Structure 1
């Protein structure tokens, strides 16, 4: 299941990863700063794409994962092309596997051939709204950021 970086207005579901409202330790402060930086870049990119082409205006919950990956990668590429064309230099983006295509060994979530039943839909909805899993994922992501990027440097 994919996750979305978001701000405080979203619910505490497992698919929405928010930074803590008040950083109480260095790990939270680092995570908060990196997430807010990423949110700023993403909002700018998607705002341009929505304004110019009407991309991604509708909910994506029932879309195929491989289609979402292609759309997101396309949005990033288009945004970088716009930034380069405007002469402001390309953003600092690197391929972290966003463009990965689902293989036959990937989960059936990414490439369903048949629609799911109502019961399965409801079960997935319950899993999606799991607040405890939200907290666990948020903590794990903070730990990952701290491990890979360390403390904040001097400002």
Structure 2
């Protein structure tokens, strides 16, 4: 491996660790980042991530100081994404369809109005 390749590999490793650490902080602070992303289109995912980064920056700015030893409920800097089995993709799609069902939505809305 040439010097350029070694340098690139090292730079890539450092950048990857920074990204993983930053993503871990976002996962720790914002539940929406921890959850499944399958239901979101790429544009919406981008908006979610931008919003979380903006809110994180606002939190850091408000606190005035970044505490490198701060830990969060979900593991702090080095949070690993959850790869636990959350059901099959077909189950996910079926649940999503039920959530988006217009008749069920109308019925739930009417039930809520009646309850109130």
Structure ranking higher in helix proportion: 2
Higher relative contact order (CA 8 A, sep 6+): 1
Q: Decide which structure has the larger Cα Rg and report it.
A: 2
State the TM-score, normalized to the length of structure 1.
0.32
TM-score by length of 2: 0.40
